[in-house]
Amino acid sequence: MSKPIYLDYNATTPLDPRVLEAMLPYLRDEFGNAASRGHAYGWVANEAVEQARHQAADLLNAQPVEIIWTSGATESNNLAIIGTALAHQHRGRHIITQATEHPALLDPCHVLQRQGFEITVLPVDRHGLISIEQLEAVRTTGTILVSIMSANNETGTLQPLHEIGQWCRQQEIIFHSDATQAFGKIPLDVEALSLDLLSASGHKIYGPKGVGLLYLRRQPRRIRCEPLLHGGGHERGVRSGTLNVPGIVGLGCAAEIARREMQLDATRISALRDRLWQQLQPLHPQLQLNGHPERRLPNTLNITIAGVDGENLMTALPQLAFSSGSACTSANQQLSHVLQAMGRTPEQTRSSIRLSLGRFTIVEEIDTAARLLTGGAEKLFKINPP
């Protein structure tokens, strides 16, 4: 039996063969600890780590010293939210975020809330966007941090980071963005966007799982961050622990490839996404697009097929691998908080699926997927007419 057509790139990406090739020496012969500064094994490992730091920084227009290695975006988000809040609580204890953030961002906010911090969660419009007017309306003299994701993991909607960054800079408020889905897919310039912190993960950009980064601004103003892990003072005291050298090398290589090939990938993948959307039009009027029609990631297509349960459609189409919601919350079968925040009813939410494409998606797979999805939905229509 052949493998299903993979349309779940927002959940994770396959390892690019070039990334694997870069990692292999550090999984075999070059096994040194990057913190072992007294001999050649450590020197080689440290040099590889620093090269990857430069590669990741180049993708963000950051300084290498501003890149902190972590185990992934979940850790980066926790460090950005909790660590920054604790370090700056003398200035205030109010944090602003928005309703469609990933649980890896919302849950750390809830942790702080239980510790006495005030958390404001902004509602979003029907496309999943927030506005500067909303931020202005809830800002207080104690607001120390605004955290707004770059791109939504379920719908691909892109928030207006440039405008938010300018507003935060004018108000002298720290600005963080969970860029897990945007990193490597669209240009992210931390200077142009006035970002102070940014979270990203290796396995979303054809790198390995278990490695991520936190961009932590040092110039022109240094953002302080209390460590969550203690013991050894690695990563300039922000994140202790022996570095995952092969993973870091892989993330660095993936970032370098993304820097070179991002525009080419985005152009090709967005054309495939639009091709898929057009071939699903026979499902109209039951078909609805979720997310902003223009301000979204080039690879993401989230749709509602009225009258078709998304889980039932997944079960009926084992030839396809896609998602009925966020991969991190689907295990407990909760309805998507993202779609509900955008005004979708529980019934519409249950009838939604996420199709996310990537570097290795080809035209033939799109055409086959469109045919299978259309046929599968029409069969379910017969069982339960819309």
Structure-block tokens of residue 385: 């007419």
Residue 282: the pLDDT is: 95
Quick check: 198 pLDDT over 60?
Answer: yes
Please spell the DSSP secondary structure of 93-111, one letter per residue: -EEEEETT--HHHHHHHHH
In tens, the pLDDT along 133-170 reads: 999 999 999 999 999 999 999 999 999 999 999 999 99
Sign of CA dihedral 323, 324, 330, 331: negative
CATH 3.90.1150.10 residue ranges of the chain are 5-12+262-383
Q: Cβ(155)–Cβ(300) under 8 Å? A: yes
By C-alpha distance, which of 200, 251, 195, 220 is closest to 23?
A: 251
**Average pLDDT estimate for 210-221:** 95
Q: What is the pLDDT of residue 386?
A: 67
Q: How far apart are CA 90 and CA 41, in angstroms?
A: 43
Nearest to 112 by CA among 135, 86, 90: 86
Query: How sure is the predictor about 220, in pLDDT bands with cuts at 50, 70 and 90?
Result: confident
- In this structure, the dihedral spanned by the alpha carbons of residues 126, 132, 136 and 141, taken in order and rounded to 10 degrees, is 120
Give Cβ neighbours of residue 375 (< 8 Å, ≥ 6 apart).
Answer: none
Mapping DSSP to helix (H, G, I), strand (E, B) and coil, where does residue 224 land?
coil
Would you state the pLDDT for residue 159?
98
CA 81, CA 66: separation in Å to the nearest integer? 17
Amino acid at 338: V
Residues of the chain with CATH 3.40.640.10: 17-257
Residue type, 6: Y
Q: Give the pLDDT band of residue 334 (cuts 50, 70, 90).
A: confident
Q: Report yes or no on whether pTM surpasses 0.85.
A: yes
Evaluate if residue 330 carries a pLDDT over 80: no
SS3 127: coil
Tokens of 359: 């570097």
Task: Just list the catalytic residues.
Answer: 328
Q: What value does the mean pLDDT of the chain take?
A: 95
Protein fold of 5-12+262-383 = Aspartate Aminotransferase, domain 1 (3.90.1150)
Per-residue pLDDT tens digits for 282-302 = 999 999 999 999 999 999 999
246: pLDDT strictly greater than 50? yes
Q: In the structure, what pLDDT confidence band is assigned to residue 332 with cuts at 50, 70 and 90?
A: low
Which residues have a Cβ under 8 Å from the Cβ of 116 and sit 6 or more positions away?
93
3-class SS of residue 42 = helix
17-257: in CATH 3.40.640.10? yes
